[in-house]
Amino acid sequence: MTDPRLLDPHEEIVQHRGLTETELNQTVQVLESLRRWHSAERSMSEAARKHMDLGETDMRALRYLIAAQANKQLATPSELAQHLGISTAAVTKLLDRLSSRDHIRRLPHPQDRRSTAIQVTDETRQTARSVVGRTHAGRFHAAAALSSDERATVIRFLDALSATVESE
C-alpha cells in the first residue's frame, strides 16, 4: 500500500496537500506500478535462481562472467571479487560451488600464470539465456518502445528514486 492518504493521513511524513486529487491518484498509481514491477522482478529472479539451483550472489557472478565472455574478455577471481564487492576468499568458495555444479570452468590464465581465467560452461550460458534472457529482452523492448522524451522522464524519475535510497 503506497497511498499517503491511508498511511499518513496527518501528513507527518508525506506532504500531499499541495496536490490535486488527480495528481495524488496518479502519483499513487506510479508507486503501485513500481510495487508491481518490484514484485514481478523478485518473482522472476527467484524462479531463475531456483531453476538453476543458485543463490543471488551466484547469479550475479554468472551474469558478470557471461557478459565478460560475450565481450571476449577474460574474467579472473580478483575481478569477480571486485565486481561483487566480496573478498577473494568468498569468491573462491563461490567458484568452488559453481564449478562443482558444472556452471563454470577454471582455466590457466594465458598471460599470467599466477592467475586463473573463469569460463561459464556452454550449458549454463544457454540455460541462463533461455531462463533470464527473454525477460531481459522484453525489458529492453519496453524501454525502446518509449519516445526519447519518455525515456528521459523515466531516467530522471528512477535516478531521483535511487537518490532517495542513497541519501538514507
Q: CB of 136 within 8 A of CB of 45?
A: no
pLDDT per residue over 10-52, tens digit each? Answer: 989 988 888 999 999 999 999 999 999 999 888 888 888 787 7
pLDDT value of residue 32: 93
Average pLDDT over residues 1-17: 86
Distance separating alpha carbons of residues 110 and 4, to the nearest angstrom: 58
The SS3 call for residue 116 is strand
Distance CA 91, CA 82 (A): 10
- Give pLDDT tens digits for 123-161: 999 988 887 777 888 899 999 999 999 999 999 999 999
d(CA 153, CA 156): 5
Provide the pLDDT for residue 17: 86
Q: pLDDT value at position 87?
A: 95
pTM of the model: 0.72
pLDDT at 21: 92
Distance separating alpha carbons of residues 14 and 101, to the nearest angstrom: 49
121 and 102 Cβ atoms separated by less than 8 Å: yes
pLDDT at 165: 85
Other Cβ atoms within 10 Å of 152 Cβ, number: 11
Q: Tell me the C-alpha distance between 71 and 79, whole Å.
A: 15
